[in-house]
Each structure stands twice: as structure tokens, then as C-alpha cells.
């Protein structure tokens, strides 16, 4: 790749590592590009946030490809993951400790499979209080960490597929195909309530965004030497 090719736009498919934020990945690639190609300024952005405790496909665009971010974000997404039933956490995932516990003795595999039907099609969901959505200029997770609350409004999302792939109580594995803006953490939380219990995510992985698959990811771009091998040939 040349400097001109970088400026004209590149798209990178990243398998986001666990505990990295989406911005960590963007900043790492931006730094690598600037360092390898001696570029003072380069636009770099991602097409859809992944939570720190999630892994999987993160699409990073640079140069003129950043103009395609909104189009990519609008694509359907596919996730796999695990819900732990019988407990909840404030963040609806492993970023916080369990705060409440519930019975699961009444939950059968049949009950679990039947309950997924409630989530198919167009549904309304509330975003997690610990999310990056802004209200009055402040992100929800900032308010939550400060012990403040905010009035959350439900959002309409589309769930095309909600399949249970494995049951080993209290853990339930799933695969979900959904529209832009769907919070899988919220689904885990409400799924637990729908089973007259509690639930939160213990694992989440995004496998597809539209026609882009995590199987085609290339994490070598997180290493500076990946770009240096091209830039030194210019």
C-alpha cells in the first residue's frame, strides 16, 4: 500500500480482542498508519461499536472509506454468545459483579426455546444504562458511574433470528441475527426476566456485519510492522 492508497481509503476487518475498546483498535491502527507512512493526519473510524467484553468483527475504515461508515453500520449483524441465567449485573455483562440472584429450578429447555419466540420480529428495547448513548451531552455510562440516572426511551429493533445452540444451566448459548442498534446485553437481561429469573452476558462475539465476516479478519494490521513492509517499498 502507498500513501495515496491509504488516503483514498482502506477497509480493515478486525477480530477485536477481549478487553480492548473499539476506540483502542481505531487508535492503534491510526498510530500505525501515521508512524509507518509519516502521515500527520489521517481519518480513521469504526463501523459499529463492540463492548470491551465482546470479541469479533470490528470494521475499521480509513481515508475516504470513512464516508462508507454509515452504510456499513446500517447492515444486519450476527452474534453468538452465552447468557448466564439466575443472576444479573448492573452492566448486563461481565464488566460488573453480580448484584442480584434468582431461582432457575423452574427453567426447562422447552421453556427456554419457547421464550425466544417473544424476541423475534420488531421489538422495543431499552439501552443499557452502561452504554455510550448520549443524553444531554453525557454518555449513559458516565452518568451510571457517577451514580446518576436518566430517563431512557425504548428503541425499535428487528430480531431476525434468535436460536438457542446449547443449554447447560445456568448457561445458555445462542446465535442472534439483528438490525442496527440492537443491544444484545439488553436482550440477555430481558430474556432472564421473561424466564421469571435473571440473566446477563458472559460471552459475546460478533461474527458478521452484512456480507463481511470475522472469518476474513486480519489482525496483522494491529502490528506496526505490517504497514512498514509496504511503506518502506515506496
Is residue 200 a contact partner of residue 87, using CB atoms and an 8 Å limit? yes
Q: What are the distances in angstroms from CA 2 to CA 8, 28, 37?
A: 10, 19, 8
Give CA–CA dist 139/123, Å, rounded: 24
Q: Is residue 196 left, alpha or beta, with left meaning phi > 0 and alpha meaning psi from -120 to 50?
A: left
Q: Which three cell numbers stand for residue 196?
A: 421469571
For the residues of 164-208, what is the DSSP string, one character each? EEEEETTEEEEEEEE-TT--HHHHHHHHHHHTTS-EEEEEEEEEE
Give CA–CA dist 30/67, Å, rounded: 16
Is residue 12 a contact partner of residue 25, using CB atoms and an 8 Å limit? no
Is residue 130 a contact partner of residue 92, using CB atoms and an 8 Å limit? yes
Judging by DSSP bridges, how do beta strands 199-209 and 54-62 pair with one another?
parallel
Is residue 29 a contact partner of residue 222, using CB atoms and an 8 Å limit? yes
Q: Which of 51, 93, 136, 234 is catalytic?
A: 51
The question of whether 19 is a catalytic residue gets the answer no
Is residue 179 a contact partner of residue 156, using CB atoms and an 8 Å limit? no
Q: So which residues are the catalytic ones? A: 51
Amino acid at each position: 500500500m502507498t500513501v495515496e492508497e491509504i488516503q483514498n481509503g482502506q477497509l480493515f476487518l478486525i477480530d477485536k480482542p477481549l478487553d480492548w475498546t473499539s476506540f483502542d483498535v481505531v487508535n492503534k491502527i491510526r498510530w500505525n498508519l501515521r508512524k509507518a507512512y509519516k502521515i500527520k493526519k489521517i481519518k480513521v473510524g469504526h463501523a459499529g461499536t463492540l463492548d470491551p467484553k465482546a470479541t469479533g468483527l470490528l470494521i475499521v475504515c480509513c481515508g475516504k472509506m470513512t464516508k462508507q461508515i454509515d452504510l456499513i453500520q446500517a447492515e444486519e449483524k450476527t452474534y453468538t454468545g452465552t447468557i448466564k441465567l439466575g443472576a444479573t449485573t448492573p452492566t448486563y455483562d461481565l464488566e460488573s459483579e453480580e448484584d442480584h440472584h434468582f431461582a432457575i429450578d423452574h427453567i426447562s429447555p422447552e421453556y427456554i426455546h419457547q421464550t425466544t419466540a417473544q424476541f423475534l420480529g420488531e421489538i422495543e428495547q431499552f439501552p443499557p444504562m452502561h452504554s455510550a448513548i448520549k443524553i444531554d451531552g453525557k454518555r449513559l455510562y458516565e452518568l451510571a458511574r457517577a451514580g446518576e440516572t436518566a430517563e431512557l426511551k425504548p428503541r425499535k429493533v428487528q430480531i431476525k433470528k434468535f436460536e438457542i445452540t446449547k443449554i447447560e444451566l445456568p448457561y445458555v448459548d445462542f446465535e442472534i441475527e439483528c438490525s442496527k442498534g440492537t443491544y444484545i446485553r439488553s436482550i440477555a437481561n430481558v430474556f432472564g426476566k421473561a424466564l421469571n429469573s435473571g440473566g446477563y452476558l458472559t460471552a459475546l462475539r460478533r461474527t458478521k456485519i452484512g456480507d463481511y465476516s470475522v472469518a476474513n479478519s486480519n489482525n496483522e494490521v494491529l502490528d506496526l510492522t505490517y504497514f512498514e513492509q509496504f511503506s518502506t517499498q515506496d
